[in-house]
């Protein structure tokens, strides 16, 4: 392992440990599990639908992320600024990418843990019908990619904000747009080109193919590039403050 990877992993381990001992993380995980389960069994009336599909379950993930991701990322940089530890962090032999990627990996691991906690739902339902395991796998992959873009965006607003509350509100408001933008053309009379452009910016729009069991390379590239873009802007913000 190269020195750069070791530094990134050192930051990631520190952040993962911080999540593991934080009661807030377990509260966020419980909220995620309850929200998605209530959405499936109560709001979508899964058993009355009589269909062997979990698309309704995974349709709740983008909505849940609007609250879950900002709650996970709000303290990543804002807390460092509040306590002054960011001054120490940026003087250590870590690059901006080491620290940013470390925080990103830790938050992604936290979301992956929530997904593991959610596995009893599909495993309990599988014996009740002819479910397609490949589709469920693709849905989880898509949800993880969706979370990656949302986390990168949440980290960006945490870096821009002076406190956790500001980071949470800013990232939540922006995520509302990015998650629900695909619905805007349905409720407004926009020109076709503008409607398509807005749909293209929607994270949930690019998640739709995964929810159908399709691993579309275009959506895969979109999630990777959007995550990289948000992380890159994050590093520029940290670099600016380092040399300010």
Domain ranges of the chain: 3-243
50 pLDDT higher than 90: no
46 within 8 A of 138, measured Cβ to Cβ: no
155 pLDDT higher than 70: yes
pTM above threshold 0.85: yes
33 within 8 A of 45, measured Cβ to Cβ: no
Among 217, 220, 177, smallest CA distance to 201 is for 177
In the chain, % of residues over pLDDT 70:
90
CA distances from 46 to 40, 140, 154, 166, 226 (A): 6, 19, 32, 37, 33
Q: Can you tell me the mean pLDDT for 119-123?
A: 93
Question: For 52-61, 136-145, 149-158, which range has the lowest pLDDT when averaged over its residues?
Answer: 52-61
Residue indicated by tokens 């040399």: 243
pLDDT of residue 193: 72
């Amino acid at each position: 392992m190269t020195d750069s990877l070791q530094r990134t992993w050192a930051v990631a381990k520190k952040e993962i440990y911080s999540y593991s001992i934080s009661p807030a993380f377990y509260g966020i995980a419980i909220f995620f599990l309850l929200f998605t389960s209530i959405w499936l069994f109560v709001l979508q009336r899964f058993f009355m639908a009589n269909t062997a599909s979990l698309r309704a379950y995974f349709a709740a993930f983008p909505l849940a992320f609007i609250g879950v991701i900002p709650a996970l990322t709000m303290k990543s940089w804002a807390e460092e600024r509040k306590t002054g530890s960011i001054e120490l962090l940026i003087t250590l032999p870590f690059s901006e990418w080491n620290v940013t990627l470390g925080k990103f990996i830790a938050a992604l691991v936290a979301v992956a843990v929530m997904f593991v906690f959610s596995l009893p739902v599909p495993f309990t339902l599988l014996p009740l019908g002819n479910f397609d395991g490949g589709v469920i796998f693709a849905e989880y992959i898509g949800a993880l990619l969706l979370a990656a873009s949302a986390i990168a965006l949440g980290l960006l607003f945490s870096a821009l904000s002076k406190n956790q509350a500001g980071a949470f509100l800013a990232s939540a408001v922006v995520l509302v747009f990015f998650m629900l933008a695909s619905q805007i053309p349905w409720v407004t009379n926009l020109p076709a080109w503008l409607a398509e452009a807005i749909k293209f910016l929607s994270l949930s729009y690019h998640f739709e193919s995964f929810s159908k069991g399709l691993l579309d390379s275009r959506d895969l590239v979109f999630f990777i590039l959007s995550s990289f873009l948000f992380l890159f802007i994050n590093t520029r913000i940290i670099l600016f403050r380092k040399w300010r």
